[in-house]
Amino acid sequence: MPERGVSSGLIRRFETAGDDGFCRRNSPGSSAAMPNHSDSRAGLEASAVVRRVFALGFLLVAAMFGWFATGDLPPLGGEPDLVWGKRGVRDGDLARPRAATIDGNDRLWIVDFTARIQAYDLDGRHLGITFTPPDYRNGRPSGLGTDCQGRLMVADSHYHCVRIYDEGREVQRLGGRPGTEPGEFGYISDVVQDSEGFFYLSEFGQNDRITQLDSSGRFVRSWGMMGQGPGEFNRVRALAIGPDGLLYAADACNHRIQVFTRQGRFVRSFGRVGSGPGELQYPYDLCFGPGGELYVAERGNHRIQKFRSDGESLGTWGRPGNHPGELADPWAVVVDRFGRVHVVDTENHRVQRVTF
């Protein structure tokens, strides 16, 4: 059975571990990569100061150019109808939440930087389920999903595998052997499963690629390499299967979304570095709503952007800050069957719900 509970000292340890940074390499279109946090308390405090200065500077420049000329301009789509979450290590608390998924029973699953996986209802009430993977000394999971049977899929990134849970019991494991050969894995960032039972696992770092496995976990194919061209990746962070049956990948440090057939053929890409409509800065997650719209969490722009599946921007929601409707490093986004968008507001240790 998974372990329950987390000691209070672990929150400090996990706040400074190394896989929460942006890009270790310089990204195309930008003069320098966003920084990684150091493993020291001083590094954490310094990075927190930098984030606050950045957010304040953004708001100041925006005001100077009249972007918020009305004073308290609400984000597109209005204020959130629900904001919930409290920083801490008790069951139900959040410590820098980093990934989320909604299962067929309307349970919102969230994993945070203490490696706790917790279940909530769609109004943020903790359902009494808190557990961790078998081992998290090397690091915590970074991706969550739901398989065709409604079971929870956990990308156990630092252990090179995906664990599938049924009501808290691990029933299947994909991968687990580190390496670069077919069927071997490095840092697994996310996992999705299509209607035919095939799994798709994204990796970055040691391997920059997407791997397809059959329903039993056997290797089928993989594609991708480090780079900036079509079908190349620089930190592919998240995956989603669209209503058109295509596979969408958040290519975070190339500031774009790439689209593939499920056999790995490149179809198109959209997005470029920037903060205007249709532009992206560090897209860290993506998901589809019930109407077929694509929602992208932009960690660098502190917002959610809504697209048509062809890449046309339909608007954004959020701005830097810590008030309702403001975001600090949003890592994840999910949409429920009612069309409500649940935004994982990572550095504010909370979730915001909005319809837009």
Phi and psi for 42 in degrees, rounded to 5? -60, -40
Average pLDDT across the chain, whole number:
86
Which residue type sits at 8?
Answer: S
More confident residue, 4 or 282: 282
270: nearest Cα among 312, 239, 299, 306: 312
Edge to edge, the sheet with strand 169-175 lists 143-146, 152-156, 161-166, 169-175
- Report CA torsion sign: 311, 314, 316, 317: negative
> Residue 33: pLDDT band by 50, 70, 90 thresholds?
very low
Q: Is residue 94 within 8 Å of residue 83, measured between CB atoms?
A: no
Q: What percent of the chain has pLDDT over 90?
A: 77
136: nearest Cα among 38, 7, 239: 7
Residue written as tokens 């940074």?
21
- Give pLDDT tens digits for 105-135: 999 999 999 999 999 999 999 999 999 999 9
Average pLDDT over residues 95-105: 97
267: nearest Cα among 256, 255, 258, 278: 258
> Residue 19: pLDDT band by 50, 70, 90 thresholds?
low
Instruction: Tell me whether strands 108-112 and 247-251 are parallel, antiparallel or unpaired.
Output: unpaired
Helix (H) or strand (E) holding 168: none
DSSP 337: T
pLDDT of residue 78: 82
DSSP string, 190-222: EEEE-TTS-EEEEEESS--EEEEE-TTS-EEEE
> Residue 70: pLDDT band by 50, 70, 90 thresholds?
very low
How many Å separate Cα 141 from the centre of its chain? Answer: 11
> Residue 52: pLDDT band by 50, 70, 90 thresholds?
low
DSSP 252: G
> Residue 59: pLDDT band by 50, 70, 90 thresholds?
very low
Q: Is residue 261 within 8 Å of residue 244, measured between CB atoms?
A: no
How many Å separate Cα 42 from the centre of its chain? Answer: 26
Residues in a beta bridge with 313: 307
> Residue 168: pLDDT band by 50, 70, 90 thresholds?
confident
Domains of the chain plus CATH, in order, are 10-354 (2.120.10.30)
pLDDT of residue 274: 97
Quick check: 356 pLDDT over 50? yes
pTM summary value: 0.84
